[in-house]
Amino acid sequence: MTLPPPHSSPGPLPRFPADFLWGVSTSAQQIEGAVDEDGRGRSAWDAFTAVPGRVKDGTDSAVATDHYHRYREDVALLAELGAGAYRFSVSWPRVLPDGTGRVNAAGLDFYDRLVDELLAAGVQPLPTLYHWDTPQPLEEAGGWLVRDTAHAFAAYADVVAARLGDRVPRWITLNEPAEVTLLGYGLGVHAPGRQLLFDALPAAHHQLLGHGLALQALRARGADSVGIANSHGPTWPASETAADRDAADLYDLLLNRLFADPLLLGRYPDEELAALLPGPVADDLKLISQPLDWYGINYYQPTRVGAPDPATPTTDFGGIPLPPELPFAPREITGRPRTAFGWPVVPEALTELLTAFRDRYGAALPPIVITENGCSYDGVEDPERIAFLDAHLRALHDAMAAGVDVRGYFVWSLLDNFEWAEGYAQRFGLVHVDHETLTRTPKASFHWLRDALRAQR
* Residues assigned a catalytic role: 176, 372
96, 231, 220: which is closest to 174 by C-alpha? 231
Helix (H, G, I), strand (E, B) or coil at 412: strand
Q: Which residues pair with 317 in a beta bridge?
A: 320
For 89-123, letters b (16+ CB in 10 Å) and e give: bbbbbbbbbebbeebbeebbebbeebbebbeebeb
- Strands 320-321 and 303-306, bridge-based pairing: unpaired
Please give the single-letter amino acid code of residue 110.
F
For residues 330 and 239, what is the distance between their CA atoms, to the nearest angstrom?
12
| Residue 159 near residue 112, CB atoms below 8 Å | no
Q: Is the peptide bond before 324 cis (omega within 30 degrees of 0)?
A: no
- Angle subtended at Cα 140 by Cα 93 and Cα 136, rounded to the nearest 5 degrees: 20
Residue 211's SS3 state is helix
State the burial class of residue 151 (Cβ atoms within 10 Å of its Cβ: 0-12, 13-18, 19+).
middle
* Residue 259 near residue 230, CB atoms below 8 Å: yes
- Nearest-angstrom CA–CA distance, 449 and 298: 19
Cβ burial of 444 (10 Å; 0-12, 13-18, 19+) is middle
CA–CA gap between residue 150 and residue 214 (Å, rounded): 8
Quickly count helices (H) and strands (E) in the chain: 16, 15
Q: What are phi and psi of 363, to 5 degrees?
A: -65, -15
| Beta-strand pair 406-412/368-372 | parallel
CA distances to 28, 38, 51, 193 from 446, rounded to whole Å, are 21, 32, 35, 35
Task: Please list the alpha-helical segments (H only) found in 146-224.
Answer: 148-164, 177-179, 201-220
Q: Check: CB of residue 192 under 8 Å from CB of residue 48.
A: yes
